[in-house]
Structure formats: C-alpha cells, structure tokens
Structure 1
C-alpha cells in the first residue's frame, strides 16, 4: 500500500508545471514551423514573426528647448526663442521696430500736413528709414518705406502718400542704403542729390497734373523774365534762349538738392552718433574730430 502511494506521488511530480517563464525566442525563431507535407508553393508569403516586447520610449526635448553641456558636464536648458541673440528674437525685434517707425513717421507727416508745419519737421521724415536701413539692412528700409506709404495712403489719400514718397521716401532709402553699404560721403552726397532732384521734379510734374497747369513752364518763364530784367538793369542787350533757361533751372535744382542733402548728412551723423551708432557710420575725418 505504501509502495503504491509513493509511486503515485512520483508520477505527480513528473507532471507538475514549472512556475518559471519561458525564455524569449530569438528573432530568427518562428512560432509556427513549416510542416513536412507543405510544399514551397503552399507556404505563407511572409514568415510568421516573433512577438517583440517594445522598450519604453525616450523622452525627447521640445523644439524650443536646447540642451548644452556646461563646464560641469551638466545640461542647462534655456529658451532659444527668448534668447537675445536668437534668430526668432531678432526677427521679432526687427518687425516691431520697423512697424513702430513706419507708424510714427506716417502719423507725424499726417499731422504736420494738417497743421501746416511740414517745413519745420521736413528734415526728420527721412531719418526713420535711415535708422532701419543701418540697423537691419537695406531690405528692412525698403519694407518700412512701403509700409509708411501705404499708411499715408489710408490716412490721407494717394496724393499725400505720393508726395512723401517723392520728397522724403526716396531720399531716405537712398541715404540709408549707401550708409549701410559703407559708401563715402562724396558718393553718398552725389547719389542722394540726384535722388532728391528726381523727387523734386516728380513732385512738380505730379502737382502740374493734379491742378491742370504746367508749373514747369511757369517757373521757366519767371526765370526768363528775371534774367531779362537783370540784363536790362546792367545794360546788357541780350535775350537768353529757352535752352539756357532750362539748363539754368537744372543747375539751380541740383544746387538746392546738394545743399539740402549735405545738411541732412551733418544732422543725421550728429544725431546717430548721440544714439550710440557711431561704429555703424563712416564719417569723414574732419567730422570725427569735431564730434
């Protein structure tokens, strides 16, 4: 009897299930092996893959974070968007600064025209475009010019916007672009004089078209009459031709524009130097010594 009980216990121990888990199958092992009676044509198109246990995913840093190795081999996280030397920060600063300059310039020009005090502030209307061109580049100065003209177009109509563009906008953009590129004062004054003269002639033609009167003909006739009066007073019996009158008128326009541009160069140089932008300017030696 005891022998039979020991034999039954021995058989139960042989059929006991192990509590340990099975080892993981290698990647090349298939769960379902190919049977002998299966041919190659009846085999599955894709072999059965083993079950894979995915590992926990790594936590990645967001786009706006940046990890840098410090001196103590530690990772310091900083906001790249808010960094003073960051690309996003500089683009935002450029956009805000140019927008504010355009808004202030348009508002001051509109108020000065409404109050008839444009002659007192006319020398400062080109300054914001010059500052933006020097600080942020020629493209930024061009965008600010377009923004100012569009703002004046909305506030006071196309006539005032065109007048600002011809008398102040083209001159400011030319001066700012030349100063940004580091041109000499001789080249800058010469090109700005041409830009100012072209703007003045464009203003005359525009006004003539609007009032339906040839202002250029009136100016040349007055010059001719003044010369005839001077020649008669001196005792010279000479009648100047109209070609000479046109040539004299062009010389007078160039002299007026050159004197105005030279004064703007002096004024803007002193003003920008006081603002701390002297390193961005290329001033002549006599002006550097005076400043």
Structure 2
C-alpha cells in the first residue's frame, strides 16, 4: 500500500498550473463571426514582455493647444526664382485692430458717397441745387478728418462714379468741379493742420478754377461762348454807367477781364469762408474739435 502523504505529494505535483495560464471563473462567452464586417487583415497583439524586435507604443496625455486668430501667418507665395515666405502680419478684429478700422473706414466712405450722390441727384432733378450746395463737400471733409486724405479721395471718386451712372458724365463733372475737389482740398488742409488763411486762399483758387471749368463745359455743350457774352455785357453796362455819369472814357477789354476775374475770386472767397464757418461748427458738434485748428474768435463763438 502507498502511503497517503506520498500519494498526496504526487497528485499535487502532477496537478500544477503554469504561471502564464489565464484563469476563468466562468466559461467564456461564445463568439460568433460578424458577417457585416470583413475579418481584419492583421490582429495586433499586445505583449507585456520586452521584445527588442518589436515597436513599443507609448500612450501619452493629449495636449490641447489654442491657436490665436490674431497672429495668422501669411501663406507661402511663389516667385520666379522659388518660394519665399512672407512676413507674419497681425490681423486683429478687435476695435483697435487694423482690419476693423479699415473695414469701418470703407463702410463709412461708401455710405457717405451713396448719401451725397442721392442728395445731389434729387436736388438736380427738383432744381433745388442752390439750396443744398453748401453740404455736398461736407462728407468728403468728414472722411478726410476721420480716416485720412485717402478716405476723402475714395469718397469723392465713389460719389462721382455713382453720379456718372445715375445722371451721366455732365453731372459727374459738375460735381467734381464745384464741390468734390473743393471738399478734398479743404479736408486735406484741415487734416494736415493748416491755418484758416492758407486754407481759405487755396480753396478759393480751387473753387474759382472749378467755376471757370464749369462755364467752359457748358459753353461746349450749348455751342456758345459764354465768356464772350459775359464780358460783352459787363463792358456795355460799364460804358452806360460812365456815359450817364458824365465820364468821357470807355473801359478797355483788359479792364473788363481783370474785373471779371476779381468778381469770380470774390464770389468764391465768400462762399469758402462761409463753408469754413459752417463746417467748423458742425464738426465741433460731432466731437471733433480736438482735431481742428480754429481761430480764436471762432473758438470763443463756439
């Protein structure tokens, strides 16, 4: 007979479980093949033992990086010799950013141009242009004072193009000669900080040249020399006055031309002076007094 201890020792030695054998407390569930999905071509295995011939996969914590829109890098542009990388530009949509200010300036210039063109077109259609003649240059002056001389020029050109489409080339040229160039000159001088004496003199010359150009265009359109008619009428009026006064002299044509030039400059100067007063008061009410260079007497009056 075999002893009980020896039998127990032999049975325990024969019933040994390898260390790598997985233990199941319950039978694994049956696995059925999925007909909808194709079988994988390669089934990855995860080995816990180090293998020098296998690639190790490291799982690291994901990092979330926030990209700023304001520091957008310019794309790569190509040249004849190759590709060069442009310098980065800061484009910020904040109220103090360059993109926001350019967009706001463009919108204001377009709105001013549309409003001026519509008012000028309606005033010409209703024959009330003389009553609104003092406000046609104001949008250009405001654009120049707020956004620079380039913005005032854009407003003038946009208004002229709109009038060209609505009323034709004659009305567009009339606007440029009588109001557009005057407003651009005044806005540029005020933007540069010029005093009123220089501004009034230069704007008077521009207004006088524009009036002469308007008369020339009208003369070309009606096939009549309006300057000759004006000078002849002035000469006849002065000759009648001198004869009625008992003076035996008759004014010469050179005197008539000089008198005509003086009257045109005087008329343009009075109009420009009134525009300076009106626009200074209006811009002061808009809160732009700090950017204006006003005389002392007008500052005291305002």
Q: Which runs of 5+ in 1 are unaligned?
A: 14-18, 26-30, 32-49, 67-78
Per-residue CA deviations over 1:163-222 (Å, capped at 9, x if unaligned) read: 011001011110011001110000000000011001000000000011111111111111
3-state SS of paired residue (2:133): helix
1:22 to 38, 50, 58: 50
Hey, what does 2:103 align to over in structure 1? 92
Using the TM superposition, give the Cα deviation of residue 58 of structure 1 relative to its aligned residue in structure 2, in angstroms.
Answer: 4.8
Q: Could you say which residue in structure 2 is the equivalent of 1:269?
A: 280
Residues 53-62 or 140-149, more deviating: 53-62
Please give the secondary structure, in 2, of the residue aligned with 1:128.
helix
Structure 1 residue ranges, 4+ long, deviating more than 3 angstroms after superposition: 50-58
Alignment of 1:224-239 (within 5 A): 224-239=235-250
Residue deviations 1:224-280 (CA, integer Å, cap 9, x gap) = 111111111111111222122111111111111001100110111111111111111
TM-score by length of 2: 0.74
Instruction: Give the deviation of 1:89 after TM superposition.
Output: 1.8
CA drift at 1:59: 2.6
C-alpha contact (below 8 Å) 2:207/2:268 kept by paired residues: yes
- The yes-or-no answer on 1:208 pairing with 2:219 is yes
Aligned to 1:69: none
Rounded Cα–Cα distance in structure 2 between residues aligned with 1:51 and 1:63: 37
Higher share in helix: 1
Deviations 1:59-83 (A, max 9, x none): 33242589xxxxxxxxxxxx942x2
Aligned-pair CA distance for 1:88: 2.0
Q: Tell me if 1:259 matches 2:270.
A: yes
Pairing 1:102–2:120 present? no
Q: Who is 1:171 aligned against?
A: 182
Question: Take 1:58 and 1:274, find their aligned partners in 2: how far apart are those partners?
Answer: 52
The correspondence for 1:63, drawn from 61, 69, 78, is: 69
Distance change >3 Å, CA 184–CA 54, structure 1 → 2: farther
- The alpha-carbon deviation at position 290 of structure 1 amounts to 1.0
Q: Structure 1 residues 63, 224: CA separation in 2 closer, same or farther (over 3 Å shift)?
A: same
Q: Deviations over 1:132-180 (max 9, x none)?
A: 0000000000000000000000011111111011001011110011001
RMSD: 3.1
Question: If you compute each CA radius of gyration, which structure gives the higher value, 1 or 2?
Answer: 2
Conserved? CA contact 2:69–2:92, under 8 Å: no
Count the aligned residue pairs: 252
**2:141 equivalent in structure 1:** 130
Deviation at 1:52, TM superposition (A): 9.1
Residue ranges of structure 2 left out of the alignment (5+ in a row): 1-8, 20-46, 73-90
